[in-house]
Every structure is written in structure tokens, then in C-alpha cells.
Structure 1
Amino acid sequence: MLFKLFLWFLLAVRPGAGYFNLFLSQAEVRKLMGLEAELFYVREGVINQYAIKFVVPVPAQVHKLHFTWENLAGRPLPYTMSVDISNPSALSSSLNISQAGEIPVGGLQTWALALHCGPYDAEVDLALRINVSLSSRNTTSVDFRRKKICLKDKSGYPGPEEVLVAASGSTSGGQVFYAAIGCACAFIAAICVLVVAYYVRDKKARRHRDPLQESRGLSSACSVERGTGVGPAQTFLSPETPPPLSAASTSSYRRLDDRPSRELHERIQEITVQRCRVRLLSIEMEGTFGKVYRGSYHEEGATSSTDVLVKTAAEHASQSQVALLLREGLALYGLSHPALLPVLGVSIEDRGAPFLLYPHTGYRNMKRFLLRCKLSSERPPRALTTQEVVEMALQAAKGVQYLHRKRLVHRDLAARNCVVDDDLRVQITDNALARDLFPQDYHCLGDNENRPIKWLAIESIVNKTFTTASDVWAFGVLLWELTTLAQQPYVEVDPFEMASYLRDGYRLAQPINCPDELFAVMAYCWAMSADERPTFSQLIVCLQEFHTQLTRYV
């Protein structure tokens, strides 16, 4: 499907003086933003001011910017160009046309601005100004702003994949290209067969292991007062025994560097709490195999108790479900950021179900909060404005940016795994019990593993590949949830059809009352290629600039 979207074209336009078109072709927009659309900056003498003001990030692998213009005046139009670069030592540029000349008459012309990165990593701002003169007193000026990402290992000129080729008849070069693609696909298919065979063999071996082994390794000795005596200390799996990983209970978090089991064991020792110090008050959420309680925790030596939330498994929960609860609940331990909610403590005892402790400061589950705003019979306590939606999205983006800097991929970023308080302060949480509390958001595609299919990037659905780029995709869906008040994404699409649906170019539709600039950020996150998606640093820049534009009119 072609996105029927001219980015920012319908907003705030004013007449220009030159009679010409200036735009980015579909191939160029696909390369920069992952969209199937043309982006007009000047259309029949009308300047798209919002498109001009938007700073477009240029990925590290893109080294040429292509522009297309068309003369509608019936005679040559003189032009001049200039390029301003904020850091000339990190970036230089060159044009494949002269800096002063005339826009020719008779059809479209595409020209390119080449960007040459220096020998070190940098983010460089550049501005391209084009002045087109209709007469001696009538000149139209168009300014383009870009932010180029330069990496040492991706400097120099682009490879053949960045050449823009006009659609034409088949050539011998095209036949060679498709033959090469066919050979590559055959090689990849052979590799996939070997990987699947190894996976099946390994999975059979893993079935005989104890899924609770790891959960027992996540606790140290804990003495609990029982009447006048002290119960015996319960010691679990020694740190020398590595915890197993099963395909059906793999954590939705993945460190980019493996952490030793000894370090995991020591981490649990630091946060083990005594069950007798926790008091359960009321049930906040309840699923089939787990519950979330509101309670209080009285720390040893403290004069007063603190409010907490307690995640625990039901008595009839299986060992694998208990192990999964503990693994996922401990993923954020040790991290400190205003937009993250890490676990406070853990308790594992044979006399009761394991539980996880979280600090509670008046927040609530974000998905339930958004649904309450939409479905409540009474007027919501506060209506979410576009400015507030952007502020909430910025907080979440900064939290995930922090995770990525700590070499941690979330893998299940969604409104259900965030919390928000009355002041709209957002925190990202782990996804422990999320499958149980929000079963409608998870689907099994015949692989005995429930996954959030409709939040996953295309490579995560097909290959189970999770990277920082797949978190970017999920953030785009989270932003869509914020603007729709937690509407279900792709509600009309069967989970088994999601992969082909996305391959065909279909994406979530623009929500009602969602500004074009905000939807452009979402669509930018859903580029088919992971390399073409923005980083969270780039997303934060885009959202901050849009937030600045919003506040100017408030």
C-alpha cells in the first residue's frame, strides 16, 4: 500500500513568488523516512512552511540528498544555492549542479547534494538555501534543514544501493541483479534450514530441564519470624549453577552483553526482602495466573512503612510461569532514571508464592488510564491535549534512550508496560505479568510463545530479532496508543497475517485529530528496514521541536 500522505502539506501554507515545483521523490522519502510518498516543499508556487521548518535526520548510511524540481514558468528561472554546515571539520558537501544557474524548462530534473563525513563520529547540522528569481524584484527563498549522523565506519560515498534509478524497461544489468538476489535468497534459505534443525534439536533437550531452576537461583537465605522462633533459612541454587533458558519462557528483555549467573545471584541477594515486612491491602489487577496488590512495606530500621505494589503468582501457576515472572521482573533492577520503574525487592520462599515489590507513588497503569479517559461515563479528570501527549511521549523516549545506553533492549514497549500519575509523569516498567493481565495484546503463532505481535517490528515477527531498532518500531505504536487513548492496533488484522500485511506496506492509519507532524514521527518509526528507522536521540529531537512549536501558540 502506498501511504496517501504528503507530509505536513495541508498545514500553514502561503503563496510563493516562483512558479515551480520542488519536492522529494518517493524513492528519496523512502530512503530518509521509510514512507511511500512524495514530499512537496513548493507546489505550483505555494511553499509548505511546516515541511520547510522540520529538521529531517539523515541516517549514517545515507550520503546523498536528492531533490527534484520542475519549471512551470515557461522560461528559464535563475537560481542560486548555498550550503551552511555547523561543523565543517566533521562534514563537507558538494553539488552535482552549479551553485548558480537556471531551472531548465521542459520536464523534471533531479539533482543531488553529496555529504562527506569526516574521520570521527558526529551529529552535524546543515542548511541548504535555494533562491529562485521570477523577476529582478521577485525572489523566492527556500531553506532546508538537515541533521547528518556521521559514523567512522560509514564515512565516504554510498554504495550502489543509494543510487536512485528511474523506472524503465528491463536491462541486462537488472537481470544480473535479480540473479544475484536469487542466489543470495537460496543461500539464506539453506542457512535457515540448518538453524531450524539445530533449534528443534536443542528445544527437545531443554524440555527435560527444570524451568524453576533459575527462579530458585534468584534468592539468598532469608529468615522470617514465626511466633517466638525463627524459621530455618531457605537457600536456593548455588551461583555456580547456570540458569536454563527455555523457548517458551524467554524474557522479553535482552542484554546486549551476557551477564554471568554469579552476578545475577549476587544481585538477588541485595534485594531479597522478608515476607513478614510486606502487608497486602487490596487487589489492583488480577489475571489467570497472577495478581497485583497494593500494599505497604516496613523496611528494617525505618520508622514508617512505604506504599508498594506487589506482583505475585497464583498458587496454581506453573513453575515456568513463576520463573518467567521473576526473570522479567528483575530486568530493570539497578537502573536509575526518572522515566523508569525498577523493582524494589523480591521474596522467594517455599512457604508461599514468590513476589516482586515495586515503589508506589500514586501512579496507575497507562493503558488502563487511557481507557478510563475514553470510556468513562463521567468527564475525564483531565483531557489529554496534543501538547500533553507529546510530553508523555518524550518522557517514555528518554527512558528507552537510557535503556539503550545501558545496552538493554526492552522488547515489549507498550502502554500496558508504562505507568502514569496524576501529573502525567510517565515511567516505563518491566513486562512481568503483562501476558496474563492483558491477554488480548498477545498472540501465539504456533510456536508456543505468546508475543505482542501487533507491537512488533517486521523482523521481530518473522525472525524473532530484537534490537534497538525494533524498540523504535514499538515506540511508534505506543505513540499511536497515546493519540487514540489505548485503541487496539490493527484490530481488523489476523495475527497470522501481520507479517504479510506489513510487507505489503500497510501501517496504522493516522488517528483523528492527530497532527501531521506527530503522525510523521510514528510513520518514521515504521520503516521496513531497521537501518532506516531513527534512533531515540533523533526521535527526542523531533518531538522536542514539535513541542516547541505547540507551546508558541499556547
Structure 2
Amino acid sequence: MIVCNASVTLFRSSTQRLFFFCRLSAELYYVRNGVLNDYALNFEVMVPAEIKELHFTWQSLAGRPLPYAISVQHSKPEAMHPAFLNISTSGTIPTSTQTFCVALPCSGDASAEVDTVISINVTLNRATNNVTRLNFKRRKICLLGHRHHFPQNDGSASPGGSSRQGMASPGRGEDESAAMYIAISSACALATLLAIALLACYLRSNKSGMHNSSLIRESRLGSSSSGGPFLAPVPVMSCGGSSSGSCASSRPRTAASSNFPATNPADLHHRIAQLTIQRCRVRLKSVVLEGTFGRVYRGSYTEEDGLEEEVLVKTVTDQASSIQVSLLLQEGMAMYGLSHKNILSILGVSIEDHTAPFLIYPHQGYTNLKRFLQKCKLTPEGVAHTLTTQEVVDMALQIISGMLYLHKKRLLHKDLAARNCVIDDKLRVQIADNALARDLFPADYHCLGDNENRPVKWLAIESLTQKQFTTASDVWSFGVLLWELTTLAQQPYVEIDPFEIPEYLRDGYRLAQPVNCPDELFGVMAYCWAMSPDDRPTFPQLQVCLQEFYTQLTRYV
């Protein structure tokens, strides 16, 4: 694929679907200011049965019209007639923004998925024969008895991409009024251009106020910080005891909501005081996870009325430094005061003199999601559970639900990954904080010479290079988490040195499509990894998209 050295912009208009089965209002750029979007070009996008036309908007920014040649090829002629174009098969790309239409007429004689390739050759320099070739892959769904009607080609198409009534490619069709089609095509083109103009004006008028908006439509909550997730870094704090050791009484373990995130040690101390419980009410049973400086225990907590409940306990070993203790408390308190079915919120904290602090979480049969996925692989001991695509999508939807709640609370996770989620035997997923994650999963974190251990292979490009975190960077991490779900927790970019990851991403490389991963699901992942944060989908859009895909999957069960 040759990168354009002249300025060309070509994108799919916002009137059509963006994510396969998803009805999203967005624009998919294939060429922007002369740079090809290889990922967009490589997608084989599904075109539902009810969609019979594709609209593309293009413009030459080189100061002159650029010659082009366009053709459409498709398989299974018994299911679809030859495609129609409302522009000529050769001409010049206009210097003003214009929209052209590609009609995909189903014959109605058979049900099939028709592979269609729209090819456009753009001549950048006739003297050197420099030609850029663009291939747009589509898979058109045609249904038996569902016939699309288009007028016969009259050969009157005009070059340059303007929407005219002439059809460039010959094809069969029913005898209908050409005037009716002219009116419909013109209205579609006008509506598309108007929508694009309104969207551009809206973005320009709101760009300056994006960072001050309360939730930015729950999709672009901005933050820039090099500190840990949720909470600003706090100085090393002492672990002075707040408990007398008596079990006569205990403070309530449920605190009311407070402002997020905490910005000073006093607020952190206040949160700990609100959740403090007596150590003697906690009983450790077995080690669930263990690292060099941290451990996660399965245990129990006894209420004042004698009722005992299963809990998970995070703590540090005797080798842990005061800095690691402070980091455990800081990151462990991230879920303070949150209540959502897909969020694992902390129940209590136990801090006593000369002992390691305990962070207590509800257990309810949960296990670490990454460890669960690894057990789903074929091993000598067998397979713990064979995940279906439907189950993977359902788990992803649960994670999206939790992330929507966090962002509504004006919180960023900054370390969304399978290792920081838990799952039970009914495949109910909860997002957890990342306390002890660096110690328990050291292979997932790397230091790039800046004395900061980060999840390099899960971070968005702007988080790596500029330490900028937004809801869009959480979306990037969600894409990697979705890749983990489909690969059963394989290590991302396993062959790439962590120091090379920023340059690797800058050059346009991304994770490959997993084996047996549907194109629809991989398409969602890849859009999460768009270079520009503004080009990534939002969590509300991802929820709509995956919910519709999940509905499609259930129809085959």
C-alpha cells in the first residue's frame, strides 16, 4: 500500500453503520490528509440486509483534482446484482467535499454473505506513475426474497464525485422511476453533508470546553497524571494502630460517598478511619496469590452478631518497605464508597502497630480473571471451562458497565486489565483496584528508565509518551483486555521489547487478530486502538455495539 504524498481525505459518511451490527453516529476515515488508515482498510465490514447503499465522502486537498479509477467486484452473482455507482468509473477527485454512493442490489434469489471489494486507484503523479490503491472490503448480507430495486444505468454519470443520477456500472434492475431515485440520492447526499457540517461546527464550538464539561457525555473525562490510578500520590504514611485490640466494638465498614479523587494524605487517613475494623475479627485461611512483597489470602470476617462471611485479604510481607505499604493503602482505597455489581469495592481496613495492614474485600467465590482465563486453556489437568464467544461478549459487557459507573463517578482506572478483575463460577465479572498487581504480576509491568513501573503493553500511546490519561485511554486498555479474553490471557506484544512499544505503536502496529476471534469482535478491539483519542469509540458506544452483537449471537443458540 503506497502512502499518499498528496493531500487526500476519504471517509465513510456518518449515515451508515460503523461497527458491523452497531448503529453508531460516527465517521470512519480511510485517508486523512494523505495518510492511509491501514486498519480501517483491512476490515471486512458487514453490511446488514436492510442497508442497500454505502456513502463515501472525499476531497482532494492538493489544490488540483486528482485522477481516479473505481471498480466494484463481488462474489455470488446469484445473490447480488452488479453494484451501481452514481459517479463514473474514472474521473477526478473534486477539490471540494463531495459524497458518492455505491449501491449493492440484492437479487432476492438466494440468501448469502456476498464478499464485495470496492477498489479506487488514485493517480498522484502521472509522470512517475505514482498510484495509490485503496480496497474497501465489505460483506453484504442478502436474504431470499429481499430484493433491492434500482434504475437501469443511463450512462450519464459525471466525473468528480458529485452525486448525479447516472449509474456507472451496468446491472439488472426493475423498471422504476429514475426521477424518484434522483430525488432520494440527492436528499441522502444533502443530509450527509449537512450532518458532517453540523458535527464539525459542534466539535469546534465545544472543543475549548471539553475539559470543563462535567462528564463530557460520559466519554471524555480528562485527566493528566503520572500517579497511580484514581488517587494522587501521597507521602509515605506511618501504620500507627487505630485499634485497641478489643473486639467489643467495631466501626461501620460502609462509608458514605466523598469527593474523588483524594488529593491529600488527610483524606486518605479519613477514609481508612471510616473503614477500620478490628484485626481479631479477621481470620486468614489460605494463600490465593503471592508475590515478593505481597499476598492475597482467602479468609473470613466475623460480624458483631457472630455471623461469619468469606473475604479476600490483601496484605504485604515483612520484606515490604514503607513505600510499598503506602502504595498498597493508596491503591487499595481506590474503590472506597463505590457500590455497583461490576465493581469490587473494599469492605474494611485493619491497621495495627508493628503489623502489616489488611485490606478486606468480599469473596463470594471470586477468582482472579487472568488466572481463570489461563486455566481455560488445554493443560495436562484438562480445561476448567471452555469459553464461548457469547460468554466472552457478556463478560466484556459487564466490564463496560463497571467502567461506565467509574467514569460517571469521575474516576479513571488507568490499569484496566484481566489481572485487575475478578470472576465467579457464574461468569460474573467485577473490576478491582490494582493494589499489589505490580508484585503479583511482575511480567505485566515494566520500567522504561523513568523509575516508574507501568503496564506498558496495556497503555494508550498518549499515556506512554505523555503520561496523559482520559476515558479514551481507558478505552484503549479495554481493547487489550478484550484481546486477553479472546486469547485466554496471552501476553500482548510478547515478541516486542517494552522499550520499543511506543515506537511500535507510533508506526501503526497493533495486536493481531486472535485465532477463532470473530471479525466483528476484532473490529471493536482495533477501533479502541486508534492513534487519536478522539477517533476511539466511547464506552457508551461500545456498550451499544457489543450488546447488539451479543443479541445477534443469541439468535444462533
Tell me, yes or no, whether TM beats 0.5: yes
Q: Which residue of 1 aligns with 2:431?
A: 428
Partners of 1:318 and 1:308 in 2: CA distance: 25
Distance 1:495 1:107, change over 3 A: farther
| C-alpha RMSD of matched pairs (Å) | 4.8
Distance 1:108 1:533, change over 3 A: farther
Q: Once the 2 structures are TM-superposed, how far is the Cα of residue 464 of structure 1 from its aligned partner?
A: 1.3
Partners of 1:304 and 1:296 in 2: CA distance: 10
Instruction: Give the secondary structure class of the aligned counterpart of 1:466.
Output: strand
1:285 aligned onto 2:309:
no
Q: Which residue of 1 aligns with 2:276?
A: 272
Q: Once the 2 structures are TM-superposed, how far is the Cα of residue 378 of structure 1 from its aligned partner?
A: 3.3
Amino acid at match of 1:506: Y
Q: Once the 2 structures are TM-superposed, how far is the Cα of residue 263 of structure 1 from its aligned partner?
A: 3.9
Amino acid at match of 2:174: R
1:66 aligned onto 2:57:
yes
Task: Indicate if the aligned counterparts of 2:86 and 2:168 stay in contact, CA closer than 8 A.
Answer: yes
Q: Which residue of 1 aligns with 2:299?
A: 295
TM-score (norm 1): 0.64
Q: Once the 2 structures are TM-superposed, how far is the Cα of residue 49 of structure 1 from its aligned partner?
A: 3.4
1:221 aligned onto 2:263:
no
Q: Once the 2 structures are TM-superposed, how far is the Cα of residue 303 of structure 1 from its aligned partner?
A: 2.9
Task: Indicate if the aligned counterparts of 1:480 and 1:511 stay in contact, CA closer than 8 A.
Answer: yes
Partners of 2:282 and 2:425 in 1: CA distance: 26
Partners of 1:367 and 1:334 in 2: CA distance: 26
Partners of 1:497 and 1:329 in 2: CA distance: 31
Instruction: Give the secondary structure class of the aligned counterpart of 1:510.
Output: coil
Of the candidates 305, 310, 313, which is equivalent to residue 310 of structure 1?
Answer: 313
* Cα-to-partner distance string for 1:222-281 (whole Å, 9 max, x where unaligned): 22139xxx9xx9xxxxxxxxxxxxxxxxxxxxx976555544333222110110110111
Q: Which residue of 1 aligns with 2:511?
A: 508
Q: Once the 2 structures are TM-superposed, how far is the Cα of residue 35 of structure 1 from its aligned partner?
A: 3.1
Q: Which runs of 5 or more residues in structure 1 are unaligned?
A: 13-22, 42-47, 57-63, 81-93, 113-129, 160-198, 200-208, 234-254
Partners of 1:427 and 1:147 in 2: CA distance: 41
Q: Which runs of 5 or more residues in structure 2 are unaligned?
A: 4-16, 22-26, 60-68, 74-81, 88-96, 103-149, 205-225, 227-232, 251-258
Task: Indicate if the aligned counterparts of 2:404 and 2:540 stay in contact, CA closer than 8 A.
Answer: yes
Q: Which residue of 1 aligns with 2:541?
A: 538
Partners of 1:284 and 1:487 in 2: CA distance: 21
Q: Which residue of 1 aligns with 2:523?
A: 520
Q: Which residue of 2 aligns with 1:463?
A: 466
1:61-460 superposed matches below 5 A:
66=57, 70=70, 110=161, 134-137=171-174, 156=201, 211-213=235-237, 216=239, 221-225=242-246, 259=263, 261-300=265-304, 302-460=305-463
1:35 aligned onto 2:39:
yes
Q: Once the 2 structures are TM-superposed, how far is the Cα of residue 506 of structure 1 from its aligned partner?
A: 0.3
Partners of 1:35 and 1:270 in 2: CA distance: 49
Partners of 2:317 and 2:495 in 1: CA distance: 33
Task: Indicate if the aligned counterparts of 1:310 and 1:356 stay in contact, CA closer than 8 A.
Answer: yes
Partners of 2:378 and 2:34 in 1: CA distance: 38
Task: Indicate if the aligned counterparts of 2:56 and 2:99 stay in contact, CA closer than 8 A.
Answer: no
Q: Once the 2 structures are TM-superposed, how far is the Cα of residue 66 of structure 1 from its aligned partner?
A: 1.9
Number of residue-to-residue matches in the alignment: 414
Amino acid at match of 1:66: T
Task: Indicate if the aligned counterparts of 2:421 and 2:432 stay in contact, CA closer than 8 A.
Answer: yes
Task: Indicate if the aligned counterparts of 1:32 and 1:532 stay in contact, CA closer than 8 A.
Answer: no
Q: Once the 2 structures are TM-superposed, how far is the Cα of residue 332 of structure 1 from its aligned partner?
A: 0.6
Instruction: Give the secondary structure class of the aligned counterpart of 2:476.
Output: helix
Task: Indicate if the aligned counterparts of 2:393 and 2:546 stay in contact, CA closer than 8 A.
Answer: yes
Distance 1:78 1:324, change over 3 A: closer
Distance 1:492 1:156, change over 3 A: same
Distance 1:348 1:374, change over 3 A: same
Q: Once the 2 structures are TM-superposed, how far is the Cα of residue 110 of structure 1 from its aligned partner?
A: 4.4
Instruction: Give the secondary structure class of the aligned counterpart of 2:310.
Output: strand
Task: Indicate if the aligned counterparts of 2:57 and 2:100 stay in contact, CA closer than 8 A.
Answer: no
* Cα-to-partner distance string for 1:525-546 (whole Å, 9 max, x where unaligned): 0000011111100011110011
* Cα-to-partner distance string for 1:377-405 (whole Å, 9 max, x where unaligned): 23324310000000001101110111011
Partners of 1:51 and 1:29 in 2: CA distance: 33
Partners of 1:210 and 1:411 in 2: CA distance: 17
Task: Indicate if the aligned counterparts of 1:417 and 1:430 stay in contact, CA closer than 8 A.
Answer: yes
Task: Indicate if the aligned counterparts of 1:367 and 1:416 stay in contact, CA closer than 8 A.
Answer: yes
Amino acid at match of 2:337: G
Instruction: Give the secondary structure class of the aligned counterpart of 2:345.
Output: coil
Q: Once the 2 structures are TM-superposed, how far is the Cα of residue 444 of structure 1 from its aligned partner?
A: 0.6
Q: Once the 2 structures are TM-superposed, how far is the Cα of residue 304 of structure 1 from its aligned partner?
A: 1.7
Instruction: Give the secondary structure class of the aligned counterpart of 2:243.
Output: coil
Instruction: Give the secondary structure class of the aligned counterpart of 1:66.
Output: strand
Task: Indicate if the aligned counterparts of 2:332 and 2:346 stay in contact, CA closer than 8 A.
Answer: yes
Task: Indicate if the aligned counterparts of 1:399 and 1:428 stay in contact, CA closer than 8 A.
Answer: yes
Of the candidates 44, 47, 50, which is equivalent to residue 49 of structure 1?
Answer: 47
Partners of 1:72 and 1:290 in 2: CA distance: 60
Distance 1:77 1:518, change over 3 A: closer
Identity between Structure 1 and Structure 2 (%): 54
Instruction: Give the secondary structure class of the aligned counterpart of 2:515.
Output: coil
Partners of 2:158 and 2:200 in 1: CA distance: 34
Distance 1:360 1:34, change over 3 A: farther
Distance 1:32 1:374, change over 3 A: same
Q: Which residue of 2 aligns with 1:164?
A: none
Q: Once the 2 structures are TM-superposed, how far is the Cα of residue 355 of structure 1 from its aligned partner?
A: 1.2
Amino acid at match of 1:388: E
* Cα-to-partner distance string for 1:153-212 (whole Å, 9 max, x where unaligned): 9662777xxxxxxxxxxxxxxxxxxxxxxxxxxxxxxxxxxxxxxx9xxxxxxxxx9942
Amino acid at match of 1:491: V
Task: Indicate if the aligned counterparts of 2:29 and 2:37 stay in contact, CA closer than 8 A.
Answer: no
